[in-house]
């Protein structure tokens, strides 16, 4: 595995760099990245952005909004938090396995005297509090796994960026979030800054790293180009959200899923799927298969079974999908 050195704080560049190394430039080895960004909200691939963010607040604070190519929920990050990425080639296309990628991070935290552990979904916890969320994308050639690490992230900004702006709600929200999440720095015996933390993590992981790759001018130019044509685009980060006459959702073991449907004369004419779930491949395969389907339980179930929809979702079954449509 090779470490790609990247000190850029631009979240659009950083997601474009992942995309570049995933889709365009094979270094001949698996890749590890450790990076951070300016204050940003990172939206899950299948989420409705406007339902997740406090638009007025992020405008006044110049907080970036960028959509990932992976599923999961919205996270807030800033220069006192870190992201890590694994790009692994020749992995099974339909496999979603978080633990094999969180284990090296947990081992590195253990070396710092921190008792962190995986929660069997997609999070790393310390004393029952979340310090890392993780997400994956896979195609026919490789797997991208990336995760966040709350090191000394501004929890107050996190809550204000995602919730509505009522002061009482924010106050309660900050307390609630502090009960559920934590910063790694709170558990260290010795006070260190974000850069020293990075150094210690990389020092522990170096036994799995064969060398370091420094981006060339050509690499950087192409990554900025990808950032502009994909990750900075309004239609990627927000997208059109037409009115739907049926909206149904539920939360399952694999995450929340919401179906927005337009039904006309008993047939599904439009279908959009939102949520913080994880999907193998493209969720549009499911939404497109439902267009033209009669809005009846048995018809919908048959359609989902024909495309093997259950195999596309992580820990969400056919009957659960149907319950969110009918």
Sign of the C-alpha dihedral, residues 319, 97, 42, 19? negative
CA angle 56-60-77, nearest 5°? 90
Residue 288 and residue 207 share a domain: no
pLDDT tens by residue, 235-287? 999 986 667 889 999 999 889 999 999 999 999 999 999 999 998 878 999 99
Nearest to 39 by CA among 14, 73, 17, 11: 11
Give the domain range for residue 212: 2-237
Write the CATH number for 220: 3.30.930.10
Instruction: Clarify whether residues 39 and 152 are in a common domain.
Output: yes
Mean pLDDT along residues 313-318: 92
171 shares its domain with 290: no
State whether 218 and 262 are in the same domain.
Answer: no
Task: Identify the DSSP state of 294.
Answer: B
> Do 188 and 255 share a domain, yes or no?
no
- Let me know whether 278 and 139 are in one domain: no
User: How far is it, in rounded angstroms, from Cα 310 to Cα 308?
Assistant: 5
Place of tokens 């690490």: 149
Out of 184, 213, 237, a domain closes at 237
What is the C-alpha separation between 148 and 152, in angstroms, rounded?
Answer: 12
Rg (CA), the chain: 20
Q: Which of 208, 237, 266 is the last residue of a domain?
A: 237
Same domain, 193 and 138: yes
pLDDT tens digit string along 147-193?
Answer: 999 999 999 999 899 875 555 555 656 667 767 889 999 999 889 99
Kindly give, in sequence order, each residue whose CB lies less than 8 Å from that of residue 193, ignoring residues fewer than 6 positions away.
none
* 151 and 283 assigned to the same domain: no
The answer on 309 and 280 residing in a single domain is: yes
For the chain, the average pLDDT equals 91
Q: Are residues 122 and 214 in the same domain?
A: yes
Same domain (yes/no): 225, 152:
yes
Q: Which residue in this structure is represented by tokens 């900050």? A: 174
Question: Which segment of 113-117, 138-142, 180-184 scores lowest on mean pLDDT?
Answer: 138-142
Which pLDDT tens digit goes with each residue over 49-108? 988 899 889 999 999 999 999 999 999 999 999 999 999 988 755 567 889 999 999 999
| Pair type for strands 211-214 and 2-5 | parallel
Asked if residues 40 and 79 have their Cβ atoms less than 8 Å apart, the reply is no
* Domain finish residue from 237, 269, 290: 237
| Structural domain count of the chain | 2
Could you tell me if 230 and 250 lie in one domain?
no
What CATH number has the domain bearing residue 285? 3.30.390.50
- Collapsed DSSP state (helix, strand, coil) of residue 15: helix
């Amino acid at each position: 595995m090779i470490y790609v050195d990247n000190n850029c704080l631009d979240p659009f560049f950083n997601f474009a760099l992942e995309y570049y190394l995933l889709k365009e430039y094979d270094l001949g080895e698996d890749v590890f990245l450790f990076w951070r960004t300016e204050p940003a909200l990172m939206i899950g691939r299948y989420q409705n952005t406007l339902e997740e963010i406090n638009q007025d607040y992020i405008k006044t604070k110049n907080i970036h909004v960028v959509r990932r190519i992976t599923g999961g929920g919205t996270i807030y990050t800033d220069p006192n938090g870190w992201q890590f990425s694994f790009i692994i080639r020749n992995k099974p296309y339909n496999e979603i396995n978080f633990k094999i990628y969180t284990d090296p991070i947990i081992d590195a935290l253990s070396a710092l005297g921190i008792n962190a552990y995986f929660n069997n979904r997609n999070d790393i916890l310390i004393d029952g509090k979340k310090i890392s969320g993780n997400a994956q994308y896979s195609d026919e050639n490789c797997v991208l796994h990336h995760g966040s690490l709350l090191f000394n992230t501004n929890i107050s900004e996190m809550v204000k960026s995602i919730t509505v702006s009522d002061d009482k709600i924010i106050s309660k929200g900050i307390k609630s979030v502090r009960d559920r999440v934590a910063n790694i720095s709170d558990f260290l015996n010795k006070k260190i800054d974000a850069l020293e933390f990075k150094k210690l993590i990389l020092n522990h992981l170096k036994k799995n790293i064969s060398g370091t790759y420094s981006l060339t001018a050509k690499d950087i130019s192409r990554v900025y180009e990808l950032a502009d044509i994909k990750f900075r685009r309004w239609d990627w980060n927000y997208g059109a959200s037409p009115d739907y006459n049926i909206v149904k959702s539920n939360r399952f073991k694999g995450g929340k899923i919401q179906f927005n449907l337009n039904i006309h004369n008993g047939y599904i004419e439009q279908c959009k799927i939102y949520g913080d779930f994880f999907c193998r491949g493209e969720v549009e395969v499911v939404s497109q298969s439902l267009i033209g389907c009669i809005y009846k339980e048995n018809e919908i179930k048959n359609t989902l079974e024909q495309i093997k929809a259950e195999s596309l979702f992580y820990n969400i079954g056919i009957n659960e999908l149907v319950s969110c449509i009918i």
